[in-house]
Each structure stands twice: as structure tokens, then as C-alpha cells.
Amino acid sequence: MADEMKRTTKKAASLRSVSSYSESTGRSANKSRSLREETYKPADPNKPGPQTIYLNSDYIRYRNKPEQLERSEQPEPDIDTITNETAEPSGTKEPKGDSLITRIKNKIAEAKGDNSTETGSSYKRRQEQQAARNELLKKGIIGLIALIVVVLVIILIANSCQVKNVGEISIESTATTQSLEWSGARRGLSYEVYRAEGPSGQYKLIDTLTEGENSRTYDNLTAGTLYKYNIITVKGNGTKTEGTMAQDYTKPNAVTGTAAATTEEENSLTMNWQLQGNTATYELKYGLYDNLRDATTVYFTADDAAYDSAADTYSYTINNLVTDETYYLSMRTVSGDYASEWSSTISAVVTTPAEEPVAGSTEPMIALTFDGGPDGGNVTERILGTLADNGAKATFFQTGLNSEYYPDLVSRIVSEGHEIGNHTYDESHVGDDVTADDILAANTSIEAACGTAPKLFRPTQGVMTDDIRATCEEAGMAIIVFNFDSHDWEYYDPQEIIDRVETYAEDGDIIQFRNVYDETADAIDEIVPYLIGEGYQLVTVSDLIQAKTGELPAAGKVYNSASDHE
């Protein structure tokens, strides 16, 4: 009984201790009183082990039982009213670590999100984990910032190194000016303007622009001329782009001083004019009506027109017209997308030119002939120049293929008063292998090049056949061989050629050369003035035969020389 009283007294003391704890933590006195006034059930002396103490419907088991905080229907246990374990049997060993009360407080504090009461190893461990997470987050943020900085620096460097071309260039042209405008100009960059004149002209620096200029006008240009531009962007450190290119013609001027006249060639008219500036193409209309209805249109380049520097006059010959008919003519210039005004319409009557007397038959004559050309170099040009300088004429037997390649030379041969002949289409067939098409196809190409159909034919290597004779007779061509071979195709030595001609040439000879060798042109430079100095007239084959025989070469007839024919 005495033991039971002691335990009761001890429990009461514990309650007072709990009440004091409640007051020290700010609990109300009323609540503390209610705890003190609680009636407690005395411990059962017959029941060994820890007892249960009831505190406002909450209870705590002693530590040697499974530790559990069982809550009543109240929303939250009142920590301040929980008493220390007093019913623990004597001799019970205190467990290691935090006390039960402390752990309970920690659990409740964690539930509330409050770690102010947490103590011991768990709090320290959680703090270390939080510190590690914070450190990792800090490193991640720093790394992300560093990456962004690196990317921005790379972009800035790339933009600072990259220099872009200007945009598309537009050109507005007049006869003497061109205005350029382009997009994409930026401040801080300069621009170099290069210009080339003509299709094959070299680019030259003509201007330097700064501070984002995007337009410029250039004057004092030549009318009807192609100008090509290249605008290059330049950075301060000298870095340059490949440039943006554009081209355009200046507008051509209209022709002036037009006139037409008959020519020495039968059924032909020559159009004459003057022009200030250049042009890429001429457009010529001619016909039998003054309003140029149903007119024929001819296009030709400036290179096709003959130029007289002394008179500053251009001319162009129209062939295959009708004798005694009146023709009306007008022309204009065309350069790129621009065309000039049409010239005033002029008229001219096609008449047959008076025949000049043939050189006297009593005077010595020689016909120089040239085969196989025209060439792609300057051999034919040199020979024509030598003949012109000495007032000599010659006959050129050209191939159809080369006439297609170099029609301007074929046209020049005819326009300078020389005679044009046929030397098959490409010299690939000899003798019996020569076909009618070899001859007729060459005629077509040669006539297309110069406007004149050949009336003479020279067989390849001088080899004749009955088929060749028949074809030429049907086509209205005489067959011209030769009686003097210069052997320029064999010697390839100008002096050898010169010596042979000067030693063996005679009156009435038809001498064969080839206008494809430089050595031939070299030899002609000396042969022509030498023969003239010796009293020979250098004439065409037709003039030679007519002078020696009294008649022109006949179709289908073979001539080896003026006196040797069959």
C-alpha cells in the first residue's frame, strides 16, 4: 500500500512538472489547471511492467514498448501537456540517441515545416544534404551563365568577321549616263565600284563609297556601249566580298547622214551613214514601198559594217536586188534592250555598173590564187593587206566550212574587189570521192557569208573527174586548176617560196598558194611588189582568162592557165 501511495505521489509531481512546462511555453493557466485536476487511475500493483498515463485523451507508451504516438480525434497533440515517463520500472537502461520527447517534437516540427527544434544527427545530416544541393544548384547556374556568355561571344565574333555583299543592283541608262542603286548598304562599311567597258573589257576601280551609300550616277559614257559593274563590300580590317555584279548598255544614238548608192557589184546597193558613239547591232529595213510595208529586215553587227576613217562614215552593202527597181531604206541602232529612233527613209535605184575595161592582153598578167581558207589566225588578213597596199587583185578558193567559221573574212574578200571561188566543203574528199554535195554545200555556205555565189571551182589537190565537171557545169561554175604550184604546203620556208616564184613565174600563169600558213603570208609580202616591179599585172582568174581569150570562163570548162583549157 505504501508503494502505491509513493507511485501516486510521483505521478502528481510529474503532472505539476508538465503544468510548469506548459506555462513556460505560453500555455494558458486554465489549461494547466485542467491537467492538474485530471483524475488519474492508480497503477495496478498486480500488473507488472510500464503503466499508461492518460493526458487529455492522448497517451504515450514507455520506451520498452513499441514507440507510437496515437492521436485522438483532436487535430493536434498538446506537446506541453505531455509528461515525462514516470512509470518506468527502476533499473531500465536509457536508450542511446535523442529522448522520446525530443523525437516526437522533431516529427511534429517536420510535419509543420519547422526545423527550429530539430537536433541531433538527423538535423545535421539534412543540413549537409541541403548545403550540397545548394552548391550543386549554384554550380549549375554558373555553368549555364558561362555557356550563354560563350555563345554570345561566338555570335559577336562571327558577325564581326562576316561581310555581306550588297543586294541586287539596278541600272538606269541614258546615252551618256548610268545611275546605279543597290540594297543592303550598312554604315561602317565601304564599297569599291569596279567597271569594265565592252564584253571583253577589264574591270578597273572607278569609285569608293563610304557610310552606307547605296546609289551613284556616272556620266561621260559612250552611247550604245556595254558597261559591266562589280560592287565589292570592304570591312575596316580590309576583308572583302566577291562582289555583286550587274551590266547594261547605254542607249544608242540614232544614225545620221544616211545615203544609198549603187556599187561595183551587180544588183547591189550600199547604205552609208554616220554614228556618234557605238552600237551592238544595226537593224536595216529595205523594200519596194516607201512606207516599208513588206520590207526585208537585216541585222548586222558593227564589225560587219565597213568604216572609212577619213570620211568618218560607215557602209553596208545589200546584194541580190532587182536591177532598175527603186528601193526604200531605213535603219536604227540596237544595244541590249534599247533601240534608237529609225532614220529617215531614203531611196535609191539599182543600176548596172559600167564595165571597166579589162587590162590589155598585150601586157603580162599573172593570177595569184589562194586555197583552203579563210584561216582562224591573221594569215588571210595579212595577205589582203599586202594586196590592198599594192593595188593587186587575187582569187580566193575557200571551203564552205571555214566560210561558216569566218564569214567576216569571206565578206571582206569580196568587198575589197577580189574574186571568191569554191574549194569543196571541207577538203576531206579527193578525186572520185568528191560528191555533188561537197560542191553544192560549199556554194551555199560561201554565198551566206558574203552574199555572192561562187562562179569558179577548184578541185581538191587539182584532181579532176567527170562527175566534178558535170556538177560544176550544172551549177554554172568553171573549173580552175593551176599551172604553177608555189609548194608553200611543202617548203614551210618563205624564202624557198619567194625564190621559186621569182625564178619561174611567167605571163598567163595561174599560181597556187594556200592562205593558211604564216610562211605564205611572209612570202606574199615580197612576191607581190616584186612581180609588179617586173611589169606584171596581178589580176583575178576571170580577168586573166578574159584578157587572154576574149571571153569569161565557161561553166563546166577546165582551165589550167589562161592559154591551157579544155
pLDDT at residue 86, as a whole number: 42
Mean pLDDT taken over the chain: 78
Which stretch of DSSP H or E encloses residue 490?
Answer: helix 488-491
Q: Which of 56-70, 106-120, 163-177, 336-350 has the lowest mean pLDDT?
A: 56-70
Distances (CA, A) of 287 to 267, 501, 536: 14, 49, 44
Query: Looking at residues 286-313, what average pLDDT do you find?
Result: 88
pLDDT at residue 74, as a whole number: 45
- CATH architecture of the domain with range 365-559: Alpha-Beta Barrel (3.20)
> What pLDDT, in 10s, does the model give residues 215-236?
899 999 999 999 999 998 887 7
- Is 6 a residue whose pLDDT tops 60? no
> How far is Cα 105 from Cα 69, in angstroms, rounded to an integer?
11
pLDDT at residue 248, as a whole number: 95
Q: Do you find a cis peptide bond into 199, omega within 30 degrees of 0?
A: no
- Looking at per-residue pLDDT, the higher value among 146 and 113 belongs to 146
pLDDT at residue 135, as a whole number: 84
Res. 46 pLDDT band, cuts 50 70 90: low
- Is 437 a residue whose pLDDT tops 70? yes
- Is 95 a residue whose pLDDT tops 90? no
Res. 298 pLDDT band, cuts 50 70 90: very high
Q: In CATH, what class is 169-249?
A: mainly beta
Task: For 405-427, give one letter per residue: b (16+ CB within 10 A) or e.
Answer: ebbebbbbbbbeebbbbbbbbeb
Asked whether the domain spanning 256-349 has the same topology as the one spanning 169-249, the reply is yes
Rg of the chain over all Cα atoms, to the nearest angstrom: 59
Dihedral angle of Cα 351, 353, 354, 356, to the nearest 10 degrees? -170
CA angle 540, 543, 545 (to 5 degrees): 110
- Measured in whole angstroms, the distance separating CA 565 from the mean position of its chain's CA atoms is 62
> How far is Cα 55 from Cα 318, in angstroms, rounded to an integer?
136
**Ranges of each domain in the chain:** 2-118, 169-249, 256-349, 365-559
- Is 475 a residue whose pLDDT tops 60? yes
- Looking at per-residue pLDDT, the higher value among 393 and 213 belongs to 393
> What pLDDT, in 10s, does the model give residues 19-37?
444 444 444 444 444 444 4
Do the Cβ atoms of 380 and 291 come closer than 8 Å?
Answer: no
For the chain, percent of residues with pLDDT exceeding 70? 72
> What pLDDT, in 10s, does the model give residues 480-527?
999 898 888 888 889 999 999 999 999 999 999 998 889 999 999 999
Neighbours of 208 (CB within 10 A): 12
Spell out the residues 6+ positions from residue 530 whose beta carbon is closer than 8 angstroms to its own. 498, 502
pLDDT at residue 262, as a whole number: 65
Helix, strand, or coil (residue 244): strand
- In CATH, which of 1.20.140.10, 3.30.70.330, 2.60.40.10, 2.60.40.1930 is domain 256-349? 2.60.40.10
The strand pair at 456-457 and 478-480 is best described as: parallel
Whole-model pTM? 0.42
| Phi and psi torsions of 559, nearest 5° | -120, 120
